[in-house]
Copies of this chain bind each other. A is one copy, B any other.
Amino acid sequence: MHSPAEENYIKAVYQITARQTEPAGTNALAEALQTTAASVTDMLKRLSAKGLVVYAARQGCTLSDTGRQLALQLLRKHRLWETFLFEKLDFSWDEVHELAEQLEHIQSDELINRLDVFLGCPQFDPHGDPIPNAAGQLASRRQLPLASLPLCQPAIIVGVGMHDPAFLQYLDYMGLRLGTQVEVLECFGYDLSLRIALPQGEERVVSHKVAQHLLVGA
């Protein structure tokens, strides 16, 4: 079994190596985990001894196969708990992450599989992110940022490219939720902000930054 601290390191290595081709650096990990580089070096040695990561001094760190499998199981647990909190306990999508950070460390495959069934085996979490299945496989989906959606082509909001609670609260406030139909009516060249149509004749204007982080499916 693995300690919560170890699991958090594995998640951080997974996240960092997912968005770059190079191995995760010590400082990047320290930043992600809100700790010091010295602590990271230390833990990487332990994780390496456990066979969860591939690490050699000053070479950065990548996940081993078992490490990646662990990371995917943690992602599965995290996202299923988020779904539970959102669907069953009525937490908002900006509140679920923090709690799931604790719940994901509960150790029981049986528990998580029953939770999965209880929730109806959801494919996506409250942010639209895919939930790995018991084998660690992720569903994929055709999606693009709202900023890249052609004019006059209706689409559905399916995800967000940014999980900052303030952003999620803003989207809630604007009525831009998962499943909402949107259509770009007009793009203002000056700042690339968009005028968009929502159901029931509602309209909104959103900044380019928002449009970049709002993901839609055709």
Check if A99 is an interface residue, CB within 8 A of chain B.
yes
Q: Quick one: CB contact mask for A84-118 with B, threshold 8 Å, 1 for yes? A: 01001111000000010011001110010011001
Q: Are B102 and A106 in contact (CB under 8 A)?
A: yes
Closest residue to A105 on the B side, CB-wise?
B102
Bound complex: CA of A89 vs CA of B115, how far in Å? Answer: 7
Query: Could you say how many copies of this chain the assembly holds?
Result: 2
Q: In the complex, what residues of B have CB within 8 A of residue A106's CB?
A: 99, 102-103, 106
B residues in contact with A85, CB < 8 Å = 111
**Partner pick for A108 among B99, B107, B114, B118, CB 8 A cutoff:** B99
User: Interface residues of A, CB < 8 Å — how many?
Assistant: 15
Which chain B positions have C-beta within 8 A of A114?
Answer: 89-91
State the CA gap A85–B85 with chains docked (Å): 15
Cβ contacts under 8 Å, A99 to chain B: 106, 108, 111
C-alpha spacing A106/B85, complex, angstroms: 14
Distance in Å: Cβ of A77 to nearest Cβ of chain B: 12
Residues of B contacting A90 in the complex (Cβ-Cβ under 8 angstroms): 114
Question: With A and B bound together, what is the CA distance between A111 and B91 in angstroms?
Answer: 9
A126 to chain B, nearest CB (A): 15
Top 7 A-B pairs ranked by shortest CB distance? Answer: A89-B114, A102-B106, A89-B118, A99-B111, A99-B108, A88-B118, A103-B106
Instruction: Report 8 cross-chain contacts, Cβ distance below 8 Å, ordered by A residue.
Output: A89-B118, A90-B114, A91-B114, A99-B106, A99-B108, A102-B107, A103-B106, A106-B106
Query: Apart from A89-B118, A99-B111, what 4 extra A-B contacts exist at CB < 8 Å?
Result: A88-B118, A99-B106, A99-B108, A102-B107
